[in-house]
Structure 1
Amino acid sequence: MLRLAAVIYVLVATVLAGSAVTAMLALKLSEGWQIAAAFAVGLVVAAPVALLLGRKIYTAIAAPAAGSTIRHA
């Protein structure tokens, strides 16, 4: 599950950090430390989001669908 969460983290961190930086620039907060702080907050917030999504996807893949029967030939 951690490998799946790591792959998801790369995608989620990019989106959240980029969105945070874009929001800062839209608010006319364009000093270096403000942009870096928004980027860092996006990276930190992405970790629990990626773990949550990874856990949900992993359990959905691992658990058989309700009502399905697996028949081997």
Structure 2
Amino acid sequence: MLRLAAVLYILVASAVGGASVIAVLSLDMRQGWQIAAAFATGLVISIPIAVVLGKKIYNAMQGPKPI
């Protein structure tokens, strides 16, 4: 599950990081530290998202649980 979450993190981090940079740029914040802080925040926020998605996909791949 950890490897799946790591692969998902690459995808989720680029999407969330990019979206946060776009949000900062749309607010007319163009200094370098503002853009870098937005991207770093997006990377940190992506960690729990990737873990939750990884758990859900891993559990779905295991099939139904026997009763």
TM category, shorter: over 0.9
Structure 2 match to 1:69:
none
Indicate the structure (1 or 2) with the bigger Cα radius of gyration.
1
Cα root mean square deviation, aligned = 1.4
TM-score of the two chains, using structure 1 as the length reference: 0.86
Structure 1: state its 5+ residue gaps. Answer: 67-73
Consecutive unaligned residues in structure 2, runs of 5 or more: none
> TM-score, with normalisation over the residues of structure 2?
0.93
The number of aligned residues is 66
Greater helix share, 1 or 2?
2
Q: Percent identity?
A: 56
Q: Post-superposition, which runs of at least 4 consecutive aligned residues in structure 1 deviate over 4 A?
A: none
Q: How far apart are the structure 2 equivalents of 1:27 and 1:59?
A: 40
